Structure 1
């Protein structure tokens, strides 16, 4: 008889995460910092970026949010170069993902990620950070691999 409560708890464990703060609703807005992307022609595009620094903030990211302004973003600072794998689980809006090397140069851009998709979106090489922007931003602003991101984490801020 003592096995039943243990088995029930074991069976329900995967569903316990649903009730945790941030896993079933958007996280509160994170502190923002300015970030500038300088395209190859010298044009400067400024964004207000929420800083996702802790593992909990990074796990939730843009989940459950219904909108993002054209000049907003979320920067996931990994702290040191590493492979970055993202997904769109519980993410209701399409996003562009910009993978940024430690020197501040754009390494890869994945445009218009599919909302709610569980497919992984990989950096395809070590990056210091991943920037999520409104879907279509990369095309709208003419962002390309090799463009420079100015922000203090890359040592490129002005």
Structure 2
């Protein structure tokens, strides 16, 4: 007889296409009461990495993204200058909770996209995926960058 935990793990594999892996530098896990999903990510931690971001890239695999880290948390605004692909931009607080989602940012647009006053991390993914996977304020993220703080979903 399969135990409850094994059954839940099997359902997660069927639902998301893969099991949610343990914390890794190159992966984020997101969950809320409606969905759970993982994305392969590149980290942008240094000011130079954050300034370059996803500029000049023509494509990005569907379940991939870039995770920007701002330590300490601070007011954060993004723009799409030199960005060639439409993106959903997901802003998170120090606990790993989504506080704002900007969907379908327009390539090349230089308008500021503000995320909030105390942003610790920002996840950029292909446009349309936030809606597809029901990522909204209150969604929780799991990643190693939240392990030193008051993470809601620790590693």
User: Structure 2-normalised TM-score?
Assistant: 0.78
Q: How far apart are residue 33 of structure 1 and its match? A: 1.1
1:5-24 deviation per Cα after TM superposition (whole angstroms, max 9, x unaligned): xxxxxxxxxxxxxxxxxxxx
After TM superposition, which residue ranges in structure 1, 4 or more long, deviate above 4 angstroms? Answer: none
Q: Secondary structure at the match of 1:59?
A: helix
Hey, what does 1:39 align to over in structure 2? 32
Hey, what does 1:4 align to over in structure 2? none
1:1-54 deviation per Cα after TM superposition (whole angstroms, max 9, x unaligned): xxxxxxxxxxxxxxxxxxxxxxxxxxxxxxx6111001223x320111100011
Q: How far apart are residue 117 of structure 1 and its match? A: 0.6
Q: Secondary structure at the match of 1:123?
A: strand
CA distance in structure 2 between the aligned counterparts of 1:112 and 1:88, rounded to whole angstroms = 11
Hey, what does 2:65 align to over in structure 1? 73
Q: Secondary structure at the match of 1:118?
A: coil
1:52-95 deviation per Cα after TM superposition (whole angstroms, max 9, x unaligned): 01111111100000011111010000122111110000000100
Q: Secondary structure at the match of 2:116?
A: coil
User: Structure 1-normalised TM-score?
Assistant: 0.76
Q: Secondary structure at the match of 1:116?
A: coil
Q: Secondary structure at the match of 1:102?
A: coil
Hey, what does 2:130 align to over in structure 1? 138
Hey, what does 1:148 align to over in structure 2? 140
Hey, what does 1:48 align to over in structure 2? 40
Gaps of 5+ in 1: 1-31
Q: How far apart are residue 125 of structure 1 and its match? A: 2.5
Compute the RMSD of aligned alpha carbons: 1.1
